[in-house]
């Protein structure tokens, strides 16, 4: 019998806009490590407003690519940032003091199992989140195309 994934309650003292602001002000000195895992800032165009939207997200890497997960804690609907990214896949990411332009795509069925292993090694709670929802949680691959100054 397979053991159920165990959930680790994260520290939520730094979230949302405050997390983004502190990360940007300090080039990630505050906010890059959150609950012991690395965070990047993802900036994409809002699909309704066209305005830039920035979200802090846990990431893993696959060589030069960044991997993020549209889990929303296992909520029944995709997070808004994911819907924005699907509509406009050219995004900006910040990792510590580095800024990149990147192209995003949702991992295919063929590539997802290997990449899911990488992201769950970083944040095992993703396995728990998947048990909380009927939707298939998307894993997003961010391919840097240029470093911004």
User: What are the tens digits of pLDDT across the range 46-98?
Assistant: 999 999 999 999 999 999 999 999 999 999 999 999 999 999 999 999 999 99
Q: Which residues of 112-141 are buried (b: 16+ CB within 10 A; e: fewer)?
A: beebbeebbebbebbbbbbeebeeebbbbb
Taking only the tens place, the pLDDT of each residue in 1-51 is 445 566 566 555 666 788 899 999 999 999 999 888 999 999 999 999 999
Domain 16-148: top CATH class: mainly beta
pTM passes above 0.85: yes
């Amino acid at each position: 019998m397979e053991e159920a994934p165990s959930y680790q309650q994260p520290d939520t003292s730094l979230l949302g806009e405050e997390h983004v602001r502190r990360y940007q002000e300090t080039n990630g000195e505050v906010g890059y490590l959150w609950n012991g895992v690395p965070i990047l800032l993802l900036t994409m165009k809002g699909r309704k407003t066209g305005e830039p939207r920035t979200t802090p997200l846990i990431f893993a890497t696959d060589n030069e690519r960044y991997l993020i997960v549209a889990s929303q804690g296992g909520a029944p609907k995709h997070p808004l940032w994911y819907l924005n990214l699907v509509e406009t896949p050219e995004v900006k990411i910040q990792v510590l003091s580095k800024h990149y332009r990147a192209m995003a795509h949702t991992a295919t069925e063929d590539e997802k199992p290997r990449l899911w292993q990488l992201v769950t090694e970083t944040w095992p709670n993703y396995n728990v989140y998947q048990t909380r929802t009927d939707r298939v949680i998307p894993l997003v691959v961010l391919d840097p195309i240029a470093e911004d100054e």
